[in-house]
Amino acid sequence: MKKALVILLIIVICAIPAVILGTGCKAATQESAAITTAAAASGETTAAATTMAAETDTVVAETTYKFAIVPHFASHPFWKPAINGMKDAMAQFGVECVWIGPAEYDIQGQVDTIESSLKGGINGIAFSRPDPAAFNKVSQMALDLKIPVAVINTDSAEAMPHLPYVGSDGFLAGTVVAEQIIKYLPDGGKIAVCTPIPGHTDLEKRIAGFMEVMKSHPEQIINW
């Protein structure tokens, strides 16, 4: 049974390739489900969540599996294709899935959401790990509870325990960006490198990949 749940969880995750795999995705036929901020009425911005089962034409089986996906910065428009993919998977497999997490980039808020989700009777969970150490405790908690778990979008080799990962290679993505810039600036130029979230695992990988390629191109002036 656990093996079947792991496979089903991975299938649900793999239905959201546009964001976590960095590849194209067909446009959804309906608007992306609105992400609601759990504490919006009181002016707080600690959690953004929406249960998609009520907003789709999901055919619910007699035994309905319940999953949770807990990304960082859950309300960001970046995730809209992922939400559409999740909805497609829900409708196809007759499962329930909640998209829930901090409305802003809030590591502790995400960790707390993961922990509460694990205690809420779910059958499987997926989350991003944008910090190399902050998610170790809840990752192990999922394994101890025998809840199938996977990491999406961003992870770190230093994060423990090691878990199944569905996502892009941040370092490789950075090298691709650098190669494209070199292609369009063959005679060199001034290039600014910046990150919206310093310390974010995957963003740091992309920067590292970018800078590795640029080491061989001194004609490119990097402003960091």
Distance CA 51, CA 39 (A): 15
Q: What is the pLDDT of residues 159-190, one digit of tens each?
A: 999 999 999 999 999 999 999 999 999 999 99
* C-alpha distance from residue 163 to each of 69, 151, 152 (Å): 15, 7, 10
Share of the chain above pLDDT 70, in %: 71
Cβ–Cβ under 8 Å, residues 188 and 151: no
Distance CA 42, CA 117 (A): 22
CATH of domain 2-166: 3.40.50.2300
Q: Where are the domains of the chain?
A: 2-166, 170-223
Instruction: Report, as an integer, the average pLDDT of 96-110.
Output: 96
Q: Flag whether pLDDT at 139 surpasses 50.
A: yes
What integer pLDDT is reported at residue 7 of this predicted model?
Answer: 61
CATH of domain 170-223: 3.40.50.2300
Q: What is the pLDDT of residues 213-222, one digit of tens each?
A: 999 998 888 8
Identify the CA nearest to 104 among candidates 43, 18, 52, 37: 37
Q: Do 2-166 and 170-223 agree at the fold level?
A: yes
